[in-house]
C-alpha cells in the first residue's frame, strides 16, 4: 500500500490522492487555496468565519486520504463491524480534536501565525454540534472516538438535527430557550451524499395475501404504506488518534420524495405542496430536549423509525457486498442500541428479512437475535419508553403486527418456563395493558438482544435485581455490565494541555491511548516538586476559566478560591437542590454570625445545567440557584468567601474549560438513581476530588482512588430503598434539624425573592411534602462531608497529593477500556490490520 507519486493505491481498483505531507509551508499553501478558491475571498477581506471555514477545510485535507483508505479497507476486507445506533451524538467542537488527531496543532498555529492569524481566535468561531442532551449523547461521541483510535471497523448512525439542544439564556435568573441554529455559518465537517438517499415509508395499512393453493396455502402480510420520505446521509469523519484510521459517523436528514414533489406541485396547489414538503422535512428538524423523560410525541417516533430504517438499509445495501447472504448477517455486524430510542430497528430487520427477503419467521428471528445488543441507561421508571399501540399502529402498522408476533412467541416461552404463571406473563409482556395498551420498548429490546448491559457495576446489578429481574431470571447469561468511559483525547489531552504536558514529561505520551499508564504517576504523588507543578497547572487552568467566563458571560471568578463544580442536566434526582442548600447554609451561618469569615474556606460554587423546557420543577431550581447567586455575590461579607457562578448554556465547550480548573466535583444524586455518570470520570481524570454518593460509577471511582481521596456521604441504595419502603417523611428532618430548618425558612420567607413567599413555594413544599429524591434525608450527611472537604483543602499538600492520585488511578475510565469490554463481552469484532 505504498505511495505511488502522489497517488496511494488502496486496493487493486481504488486509486487515491494522498493527503499533503505535513509542513508549515505546505499548510500555508493549502490554507490559502481554501481561503481563495473555496471560500472565495482574500485574506484582507476575510471574516473570522471565513478564516475558520478555510482552516477546517484545510485540516480535513490531512485526514482525507486516511478516511478514504479506511472506508475502502472496510469494503474490501468485509470485517465484522460495529454499527452504533444512537438518536444523539453530543460531539462538541471538531477543529481542535481534528488538529490533535492529525498531529497538526503546531504546524497549523505556525502556518497561520505567518499569515497574521491567531488559531485560538478561529477555534472560538466554531459552533459546536449539540446533537444530544447530555450523558447518553456524549457517551456515543466518546465511543466512536475510541473505536476509531482502536481501529475497530465501526460506523455511527444517527440524525442530523437541523436544531440541536436549545441555547439557554437567563432572563431575571429564569431559563429561556433559544433555537440552536448550529448550521447557519456553514458546516465544514460534513459531506452530504444525496446520491445515497434512502426511501422510508410510514402509515398505510397491512394486507394479508394468500400464497399457494389448498393445504399449502400460506398467509403473508404485505405493508401498503401511506406516505414516504427520503433520508439523505451526511458523513462526518471520526479520526482515530494518530493511527491512520478515520471512521464514519453517518447522520440522516429528511427530505420530501421526488415523486411526491412532482405530483403535488403539478397538481397546481403550490402552497399546499410546499407545506407538505415541510411536513416531511420536519422529521429531522429538531432534537427533543428531554433527558431521561420520553415525551411520547408522534414526531419523536417518526424520528426514531426514520433514522433506523435509513441505517439498516444503508448497512445492507452499501456496506455489504451485492448478493450477500443475509443469513450470515450476525457474522458481519452488531447493531448496538443506545438505549431504547432505536429499538424499532428490531421489527424493521424482521420486516426486511420476512417481507422483502422471503425468510421464514424462525430463520429471520434467529438472524435478528444475533444482530442486536441493547444498552440501558436508566433506572427511573418514568424514563422507560412506551409507545401507545394505536399511535405505533397508525404510523407503522406492519411493525406493530411483527411486535405482536414476537410477543406471542416470547410469552409462550415464559409460560413454558414458569408453568403458566399468569402474573409473570403479564409483567414480562412486551405489551402493557394499563393505563392503555402500549409497547414497552425495553422489553422488546431485552427479548431481541444477544446481550443487555448496564453502564456501571451498580447499575447493571440493579437492572438484574430490579428493573429487568424477570428477564435476568429467564436468561441470566444475557446480562452483563460495561462501565462507561470518556475519551482521554478530548477530555484530557485537548481540554487540559497543561496537565497533559506535565504527565507526558513524567511518563511519556503513551497514556493518551493507554490510559492505565497513568498509574505510573502514583509515586509522583509523594514528590513535593511534582505536586507543586500540579498546583501550578490547576491555578493556570483557573486563570484560563476566569478569563473565559469574564469574556463569555461577564462573570467574575476569583482564582484563589476552591472551585466547587456541579455540571450536568438539571434533574431532581441529581439533586442540584442539595448543593444550593449547602450554599444557603453557609450564607446563613455568616449572616447570622454563627460562622466567622475566617472559618470558611473561600470557595466558588459553579453550576452548569439545562432544564427540559417542559420540566417546571427543574426550571424553578434554576431560578432559585440564580437568585441565591445574586444575593450571595452581592453581600459585602459573604461574597468575600463565597461566590456562586451559573454561566448559561452549559455545553461541551464550557465543560472543556471548566473541568480542568475544578478542585471539587459534585456527584450527589440519590443512590440508585444515576445509572453511571460520566462527568464524574472527567473530573477525576483532571485531578478534582469527588464529593459524592454511593451511586453509579462513583462507586467504582471511590474503589479505585481510595476512600481517603473521595468524600463519601449519604444513604446507600439499599438504605434509600428501605426508607422508601418504610414510608419516607421529609418533614421529620426539617423538624429535627435546626440548620436545615433555617435554610428552608430563608427560601420560604423570600430571602432570595425580594421578600416574595410565592416565588419558590413549589420547591419548599415539594421538599417538605414529597421529596422523592430524599434531599432532606441526606442533607446533614452532605454538610458533614463538606466539612471534611474544607478540612482537607486547608492542607494544600495533602489535597494535591489526593488530586494526583485521582488522576493516577482513574485510567480505568477511558472509553477505550469500555470499548475493549464491549468487544470482549458483546461485539466480538477485531481491529482492522493497518
Catalytic residues: 377, 568-569, 574, 678, 682
**What is the smallest separation between the CB atom of 459 and ligand KOT, expressed in angstroms?**
8
d(CA 443, CA 608): 34
| Residues whose CB falls within 8 Å of the CB of residue 277, separated by 6 or more in sequence, listed in order | 256, 260, 261, 264
Q: Which three cell numbers stand for residue 440?
A: 414497552
Contacts made by residues 236-239, CB under 8 angstroms, sequence distance 24+ = 236/91, 236/94, 236/189, 236/190, 236/191, 237/60, 237/63, 237/67, 237/98, 237/189, 238/144, 238/145, 238/147, 238/148, 238/156, 239/63, 239/66, 239/67, 239/97, 239/98, 239/101, 239/102, 239/148
- Nearest CB to ligand KOT, comparing residues 344 and 631: 344
**What is the smallest separation between the CB atom of 646 and ligand KOT, expressed in angstroms?**
21
Task: Kindly report the backbone phi and psi dihedral angles of residue 706, in degrees, each rounded to the nearest multiple of 5, phi listed first.
Answer: 100, 145
Three-state secondary structure call for residue 285:
coil
- Nearest CB to ligand KOT, comparing residues 377 and 490: 377
**Residues 142 and 815 sit within 8 Å (Cβ to Cβ):** yes
**What is the smallest separation between the CB atom of 484 and ligand KOT, expressed in angstroms?**
5
Q: Where are the beta strands (DSSP E) in 424-561?
A: 431-432, 438-440, 451-454, 479-481
Nearest to 398 by CA among 221, 543, 560, 265: 221
- Nearest CB to ligand KOT, comparing residues 351 and 459: 459
**Residues 439 and 425 sit within 8 Å (Cβ to Cβ):** no
Nearest to 58 by CA among 77, 84, 39, 81: 39
Burial of 216 (0-12, 13-18, 19+ CB in 10 A): exposed
- Nearest CB to ligand KOT, comparing residues 74 and 490: 490
| Residues whose CB falls within 8 Å of the CB of residue 798, separated by 6 or more in sequence, listed in order | 792
**Residues 372 and 448 sit within 8 Å (Cβ to Cβ):** yes
**What is the smallest separation between the CB atom of 599 and ligand KOT, expressed in angstroms?**
36
- Nearest CB to ligand KOT, comparing residues 397 and 672: 672
d(CA 563, CA 664): 6
Q: Where are the alpha helices (DSSP H) in 247-385?
A: 258-267, 270-281, 298-314, 329-332, 345-351, 361-371
- Nearest CB to ligand KOT, comparing residues 136 and 344: 136
- Nearest CB to ligand KOT, comparing residues 677 and 687: 677
**What is the smallest separation between the CB atom of 132 and ligand KOT, expressed in angstroms?**
9
- Nearest CB to ligand KOT, comparing residues 254 and 383: 383
Nearest to ligand KOT by Cβ — which residue? 135
Residues β-bridged to residue 456: none
| Residues whose CB falls within 8 Å of the CB of residue 15, separated by 6 or more in sequence, listed in order | 7, 9
**What is the smallest separation between the CB atom of 568 and ligand KOT, expressed in angstroms?**
8
**What is the smallest separation between the CB atom of 692 and ligand KOT, expressed in angstroms?**
13
d(CA 715, CA 774): 9
Torsion of CA 114, 116, 120, 122, to 10 degrees: -110
**What is the smallest separation between the CB atom of 681 and ligand KOT, expressed in angstroms?**
9
**What is the smallest separation between the CB atom of 159 and ligand KOT, expressed in angstroms?**
15
**Residues 93 and 66 sit within 8 Å (Cβ to Cβ):** no
Q: Where are the beta strands (DSSP E) in 568-676?
A: 603-608, 642-645, 664-667
d(CA 210, CA 221): 9
**Residues 59 and 108 sit within 8 Å (Cβ to Cβ):** yes
**What is the smallest separation between the CB atom of 815 and ligand KOT, expressed in angstroms?**
11
| Cα 55–chain centre separation | 27
Tell me whether strands 333-338 and 372-375 are parallel, antiparallel or unpaired: parallel
* CA 203 vs CA 279, 350, 397, 706, 718: distances in Å: 14, 18, 7, 56, 46
**What is the smallest separation between the CB atom of 96 and ligand KOT, expressed in angstroms?**
23
d(CA 447, CA 339): 14
What is the binding site for ligand KOT (CB under 6 A)? 134-136, 139, 291-292, 294, 339, 377-378, 383, 455, 484, 674-678, 696
Number of H helices, E strands in the chain: 34, 28
Longest CA–CA separation in the chain, Å? 94
- Nearest CB to ligand KOT, comparing residues 563 and 675: 675
**Residues 231 and 253 sit within 8 Å (Cβ to Cβ):** yes
**Residues 303 and 282 sit within 8 Å (Cβ to Cβ):** no
- Nearest CB to ligand KOT, comparing residues 135 and 589: 135
**What is the smallest separation between the CB atom of 575 and ligand KOT, expressed in angstroms?**
13
- Nearest CB to ligand KOT, comparing residues 132 and 153: 132
Task: Tell the residue number behind the cell numbers 438517499, with chain if given.
Answer: 197
- Nearest CB to ligand KOT, comparing residues 383 and 545: 383
**What is the smallest separation between the CB atom of 725 and ligand KOT, expressed in angstroms?**
24
Amino acid at each position: 500500500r505504498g505511495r505511488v507519486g502522489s497517488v496511494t493505491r488502496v486496493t487493486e481498483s481504488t486509486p487515491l490522492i494522498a493527503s499533503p505531507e505535513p509542513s508549515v509551508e505546505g499548510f500555508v499553501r493549502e490554507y490559502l487555496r481554501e481561503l481563495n478558491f473555496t471560500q472565495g475571498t482574500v485574506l484582507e477581506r476575510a471574516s473570522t468565519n471565513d478564516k475558520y471555514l478555510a482552516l477546517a477545510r484545510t485540516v480535513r485535507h490531512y485526514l482525507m486520504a486516511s478516511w478514504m483508505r479506511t472506508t475502502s479497507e472496510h469494503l474490501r476486507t468485509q470485517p465484522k463491524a460495529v454499527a452504533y445506533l444512537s438518536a444523539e451524538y453530543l460531539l462538541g467542537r471538531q477543529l481542535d480534536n481534528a488538529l490533535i488527531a492529525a498531529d497538526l496543532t503546531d504546524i497549523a498555529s505556525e502556518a497561520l501565525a505567518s499569515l497574521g492569524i491567531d488559531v485560538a481566535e478561529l477555534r472560538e468561531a466554531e459552533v459546536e454540534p449539540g446533537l444530544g442532551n447530555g450523558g447518553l449523547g456524549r457517551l456515543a461521541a466518546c465511543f466512536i472516538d475510541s473505536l476509531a483510535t482502536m481501529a475497530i471497523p465501526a460506523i455511527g448512525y444517527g440524525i442530523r438535527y437541523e436544531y440541536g439542544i436549545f441555547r439557554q439564556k437567563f432572563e431575571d435568573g429564569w431559563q429561556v430557550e433559544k433555537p440552536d441554529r448550529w448550521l447557519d455559518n456553514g458546516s465544514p465537517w460534513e459531506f452530504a451524499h444525496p446520491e445515497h438517499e434512502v426511501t422510508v415509508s410510514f402509515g398505510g395499512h397491512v394486507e394479508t395475501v394468500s400464497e399457494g393453493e389448498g393445504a399449502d396455502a400460506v398467509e403473508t402480510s404485505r405493508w401498503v404504506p401511506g406516505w414516504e420520505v427520503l433520508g439523505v446521509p451526511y458523513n462526518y469523519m471520526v479520526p482515530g488518534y494518530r493511527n491512520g484510521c478515520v471512521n464514519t459517523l453517518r447522520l440522516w436528514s429528511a427530505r420530501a420524495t421526488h415523486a411526491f414533489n412532482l405530483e403535488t406541485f403539478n397538481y397546481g396547489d403550490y402552497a399546499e405542496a410546499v407545506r407538505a414538503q415541510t411536513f416531511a422535512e420536519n422529521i429531522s428538524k429538531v432534537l427533543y430536549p428531554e433527558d431521561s423523560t420520553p415525551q411520547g410525541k408522534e414526531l419523536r417516533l417518526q424520528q426514531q423509525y426514520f433514522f433506523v430504517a435509513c441505517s439498516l438499509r444503508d448497512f445492507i445495501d452499501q456496506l455489504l457486498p451485492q448478493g450477500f447472504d443475509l443469513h450470515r448477517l450476525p457474522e458481519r455486524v452488531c447493531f448496538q442500541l443506545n438505549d431504547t430510542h432505536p429499538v424499532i430497528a428490531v421489527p424493521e430487520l424482521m420486516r426486511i428479512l420476512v417481507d422483502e427477503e422471503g425468510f421464514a419467521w424462525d430463520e429471520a428471528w434467529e438472524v435478528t437475535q444475533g444482530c442486536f445488543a441493547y444498552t440501558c441507561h436508566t433506572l427511573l421508571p418514568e424514563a422507560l419508553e412506551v409507545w401507545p399501540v394505536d399511535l405505533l399502529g397508525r404510523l407503522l402498522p406492519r411493525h406493530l403486527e411483527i411486535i405482536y408476533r414476537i410477543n406471542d412467541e416470547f410469552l409462550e416461552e415464559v409460560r413454558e418456563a414458569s408453568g403458566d404463571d399468569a402474573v409473570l406473563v403479564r409483567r414480562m409482556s412486551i405489551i402493557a395493558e394499563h393505563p392503555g395498551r402500549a409497547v414497552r420498548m425495553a422489553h422488546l429490546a431485552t427479548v431481541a438482544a444477544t446481550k443487555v448491559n448496564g453502564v456501571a457495576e451498580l447499575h447493571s446489578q440493579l437492572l438484574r435485581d430490579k428493573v429487568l429481574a424477570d428477564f435476568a431470571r429467564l436468561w441470566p447469561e444475557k446480562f452483563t455490565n460495561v462501565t462507561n468511559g470518556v475519551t482521554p483525547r478530548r477530555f484530557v489531552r485537548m481540554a487540559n494541555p497543561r496537565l497533559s504536558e506535565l504527565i507526558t514529561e513524567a511518563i511519556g505520551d503513551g497514556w493518551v491511548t493507554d490510559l492505565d499508564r497513568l498509574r505510573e504517576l502514583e509515586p509522583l504523588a509523594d514528590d513535593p516538586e511534582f505536586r507543586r507543578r500540579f498546583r501550578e497547572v490547576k491555578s493556570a487552568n483557573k486563570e484560563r476559566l476566569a478569563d473565559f467566563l469574564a469574556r463569555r458571560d461577564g462573570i467574575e471568578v476569583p482564582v484563589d478560591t476552591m472551585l466547587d463544580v456541579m455540571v450536568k442536566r438539571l434533574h431532581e434526582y441529581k439533586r442540584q437542590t442539595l448543593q444550593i442548600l449547602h450554599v444557603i447554609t453557609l450564607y446563613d451561618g455568616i449572616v447570622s454570625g454563627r460562622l466567622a469569615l475566617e472559618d470558611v474556606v473561600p470557595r466558588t460554587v459553579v453550576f452548569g445545567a439545562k432544564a427540559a423546557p417542559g420540566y417546571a420543577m427543574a426550571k424553578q431550581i434554576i431560578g432559585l440557584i440564580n437568585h441565591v447567586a445574586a444575593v450571595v455575590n452581592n453581600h459585602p461579607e459573604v461574597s468575600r468567601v463565597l461566590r456562586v457562578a451559573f454561566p448559561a448554556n452549559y455545553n461541551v465547550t464550557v465543560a472543556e474549560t471548566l473541568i480542568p480548573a475544578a478542585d471539587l466535583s459534585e456527584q450527589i444524586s440519590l443512590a440508585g438513581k444515576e445509572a453511571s455518570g460520566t462527568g464524574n470520570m472527567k473530573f477525576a481524570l483532571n485531578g478534582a476530588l469527588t464529593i459524592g454518593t454511593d451511586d453509579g460509577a462513583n462507586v467504582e471511582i471511590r474503589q479505585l482512588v481510595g476512600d481517603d481521596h473521595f468524600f463519601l456521604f449519604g444513604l446507600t441504595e439499599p438504605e434509600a430503598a428501605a426508607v422508601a419502603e418504610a414510608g419516607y417523611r421529609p418533614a421529620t428532618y426539617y423538624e429535627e434539624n435546626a440548620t436545615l430548618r433555617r435554610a428552608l425558612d430563608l427560601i420560604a420567607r423570600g430571602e432570595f425573592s425580594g421578600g416574595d413567599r410565592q416565588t419558590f413555594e413549589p420547591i419548599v413544599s415539594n421538599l417538605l411534602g414529597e421529596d422523592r429524591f430524599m434531599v432532606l434525608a441526606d442533607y446533614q450527611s452532605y454538610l458533614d462531608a463538606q466539612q471534611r472537604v474544607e478540612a482537607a483543602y486547608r492542607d494544600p499538600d495533602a489535597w494535591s497529593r489526593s488530586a494526583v492520585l485521582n488522576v493516577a488511578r482513574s485510567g480505568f475510565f477511558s472509553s477505550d477500556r469500555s470499548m475493549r469490554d464491549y468487544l470482549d463481552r458483546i461485539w466480538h469484532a477485531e481491529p482492522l490490520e493497518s
